[in-house]
Amino acid sequence: METIIARQPIFNEKRHLFAYELLYRGGGALSLADVGGNRATSSLITSSFLTEGLDRISGNKPCFVNFTEELLLENIVESFPVTSIVVEILEDVHPTDEVIRACRNLKRLGYLLALDDFVYHKNFIPLIELADIIKIDFRLTPINEIRTTLDCLSRHKIDYLAEKVETHGEFAEARQLGFKYFQGYFFAKPEELRIKEMGTSKITLLNLLSEINKPSFSSQKMTAMIAADVSLSYRLLRYINSAYFYLIKKIDSIHHAVTYLGENEIRRFVTLAVISEISHKKPAELVRLAAVRAKFCEQLGQESSQQTKPNELFMLGLFSLLHAMLDTPIKDILNKIPVSDDIKRALTDQRGPLAIFLTIVIAYERGSIEACFQALEPMGIRKEKIYPLYLSSLEFADTFVNL
């Protein structure tokens, strides 16, 4: 059975990335419902920690991992570094004497403990007293019930995490209630669709984006443009000399870097750099997610039996979050950038030959694996390829964002 692992970001109140939750999503002939908690967590930690390496998946951020009662009692947690894992205790774990002893031992060793899908009951006080973080489903739990729960917990020294925060309004409300951490895809949504025109600086960056993606914009022009910008030059040289490329000899000139990468790759780099600048007031995770989508879409196209243009698919993934970066309707943005009709149709109407690739990528990142696999079939992409492609996309995105 293929192992499918997705990661979901967790932010602090300043919308800075705090950690990721690693989610096991099954694979092969089994759906998630067919996989028990013990098996799911065992598969996840075996694949992510032992086989793949934690840094490939988490970008060296702490990982929230679900633990069942059985796994807590088996002391599996102690196999992993204290700074790398947050022990997420599932809602159906009973606070027996054995469980309390195991959790107390983990606390003594320095592990952070989180209680998942929390609903207050006095029987859970022994676990509450050991917990560092309590997670509350912000969508399923009525606001009045959340307030009552927080009031009951007020005498305990605990941080609160709001799960399934999908809008900026929910984020603001949760923060006002006293939540410190936030999990969900609110950061990938526009904060407010603006009726007025975008600011001059962002228009200038969009014009640059337009220029560098024109067929007539040569590598010579690209070299001159990068060399004239100290910040861009610095980022390019860091990028080309990063571990992502495994170069034997260091590259120390812009001309050499442009020649090595080639015209298409250097366009992508500059496009990513411009996208990063456009969204500099947004969470860095937004740029990272856009870069993941770009690389994921491109690689899916390369694996597909369909005739595709990798550059188009890369741009499709990258531009799929422009509306959130600019808080502007995507149709208005695309009117200012020379992109193909297929990209426009995919981004504005979710139609056309490229739309299916974005459907696959978004289904995977949201953990909708059955929908993802269903969409793979007509594209001629084998299921066992999807996870390695995802990992490769994470590495690419993490390399760029950390420059």
pLDDT in tens, 278-306: 888 899 999 999 999 999 999 999 999 88
Higher pLDDT, 206 or 341: 341
For 37-40, the CB contacts below 8 A with 24+ separation are 37/66, 37/68, 37/71, 37/90, 38/68, 38/70, 38/71, 40/66
Report pLDDT for 2: 54
Task: Flag whether pLDDT at 199 surpasses 80.
Answer: no
- Domains contained in the chain, CATH given: 5-188 (3.20.20.450), 200-401 (1.10.3210.10)
| Alpha carbon distance 63, 83 (integer Å) | 9
Range of lowest pLDDT (133-137, 160-164, 198-202): 198-202
DSSP H or E stretch at residue 8: strand 5-12
Q: Residue 137 is inside which H or E element, if any?
A: strand 133-137
**pLDDT tens for residues 25-81?**
654 433 333 334 455 455 555 545 544 566 778 888 999 988 888 888 888 788 788
In the predicted structure, residue 247 carries a pLDDT above the cut 70: yes
The answer, yes or no, to whether residue 191 has pLDDT greater than 80, is yes
* H-assigned helices in 59-167: 69-73, 97-109, 125-128, 143-153
User: What is d(CA 220, CA 229) in angstroms, rounded to the nearest whole number?
Assistant: 15
Q: Count CB-CB contacts under 10 A for residue 376.
A: 21
143 pLDDT more than 70:
yes
* Mean pLDDT of all residues belonging to the chain: 86
